Amino acid sequence: MTYLGFPRLHFSGRFQADPSTVNNDPEHFDDTRFKPNYQQLGTKTQVNGWWNPMGSGDWRFADCVVNKVYYQDGTSCDAPNQDPVIGMEINPPQSGVKGKLVDLDPENQNVSQIWGFQIYLGNDKTYVFQGNFEVVAFADLWFNRAPGRGDKTAAAFYQSVIKITNFDGLSNSKFIQDLGNPKKLSIKFTVDGFDADINSPNFTWGRVIGVIGLYEEAEPYNFVPGRRLLPIPKSPLNYAPCIIDKQSNKLLVDLANSLQTEKPGGLFRDLGKLQVALNTGKNQYKIKKDKDSHKPKVVRVAGNGEYQIIGPIEYLATNWYENEAGIQEFSNLPAAVSNTPLAVIKAEEKPGKTVHVEPGSVYLLEDENGLFARAEQFVFRLSSNDDDENIDQTTLYAYKFGEPVSQEFQLKPDADVVSGQK
């Protein structure tokens, strides 16, 4: 059980990421060669200290409000007169909470971590709980969330745990009663719409949509221990985690970091009627010419076009993202859902129907064997000068259609994630 289950809380607001970009260039770390202009804002002709050389490194939330909660029994509430947790803030102004945003090093700026951050739930009169946010790096970064160029087009998510330091509770809140008295909570938030224009009043700010739920000790803290949908080549969608909640027998698909927007931090782009379906066909392959060698090669493009509709994604509904936090639920599931690959397709048919669609209308697919493996910790800070500090470890989790599996895997290093100023 992670945030993607029951009970859970949905919130939305703004985040600030104020990195000091003077630290983004390896050359700037040599004191003997450091120049005064390295501390100045970059221009069209001079790189200097990049786009925010005087950045504080601060990370914070602002105006983050609880919009909706789901209870343990699967019902929901978005009315403050029915549950007082609705309308409360995550890190209200009086908390004064801020953390620090830290890159691994100048050679890898694609795994930025949040350090020293805390999470509060409350208002100007009371705190319901507070706790420490476990250090974690963002994941599933993509630069195709919105049209344009630069960081404003990007999106990513942070998933971690909150180690509770104080839990006062809220006696008249059903949601808080459902939480019990937890020692840890699971939290995940998606960030996009970042403004890197120094002349903008929203400079260093962006949009955040988040979820808080229960956490179980046996599960990984920074990803969903379940199933994973992957984008096919040229898909407009990004990766999406999903699970089948065993208690309610509902399928929950998290699309918060999957859908494109019309503009940075804006409404979702209309891609037509998107639906979650079972990939009931076999794999389809197409022969294409390699763009470099011009030799034919086999490319997997999608399933063979046969899909059983589970249900629509209501991503175009008013305030769907803020209220549902990008999570779509499905009930009345077909029996085959437990061992059949899932997909996100574009189709008009009703749930239960079997349809045939062209590869261009298939956007996300689960592995044909339902396999998904990932390391819990994937960012390491090691010292090459100390033999006692240059070794670390992580835990590798593997699943088949959302269930833990013991199977042999082949691993190899992948340097594609390394990105920085060189």
Q: DSSP string spanning 145-189?
A: SSSSSSGGG-EEEEEEEEEEEEE---TT-HHHHHH-S-SEEEEEE
Distance from C-alpha of 214 to C-alpha of 160, rounded to nearest angstrom: 11
Q: What confidence score (pLDDT) does residue 388 get?
A: 72
Q: What confidence score (pLDDT) does residue 411 get?
A: 73
Question: Is residue 130 a contact partner of residue 120, using CB atoms and an 8 Å limit?
Answer: yes
Q: Report pLDDT digits (tens) over 39-71.
A: 899 888 888 988 999 999 999 999 999 999 999
As averages over each run of 10 residues, the pLDDT of the chain (422 residues) reads: 94 97 88 90 88 94 98 98 98 91 86 96 92 97 96 97 96 96 98 97 98 95 96 92 96 99 98 96 57 54 77 99 99 96 95 89 90 91 76 92 86 65 46
The amino acid that residue 371 corresponds to is: L
Q: Report pLDDT digits (tens) over 118-142.
A: 999 999 888 999 999 999 999 999 9
Distance from C-alpha of 400 to C-alpha of 392, rounded to nearest angstrom: 27
Q: What confidence score (pLDDT) does residue 285 get?
A: 42
Q: What confidence score (pLDDT) does residue 108 get?
A: 84
Q: How far is CA 222 from CA 180, 208, 257, 348, 379, in A?
A: 22, 17, 15, 35, 12
In a 3-state reduction of DSSP, which class is residue 359?
A: helix
Question: Is residue 326 a contact partner of residue 258, using CB atoms and an 8 Å limit?
Answer: yes
Question: Is residue 357 a contact partner of residue 309, using CB atoms and an 8 Å limit?
Answer: no
Q: What confidence score (pLDDT) does residue 290 get?
A: 61
In 10 A of CB 406, how many CB atoms? Answer: 6
The dihedral region occupied by 32, where left means phi > 0, alpha psi between -120 and 50, and beta the remainder, is alpha
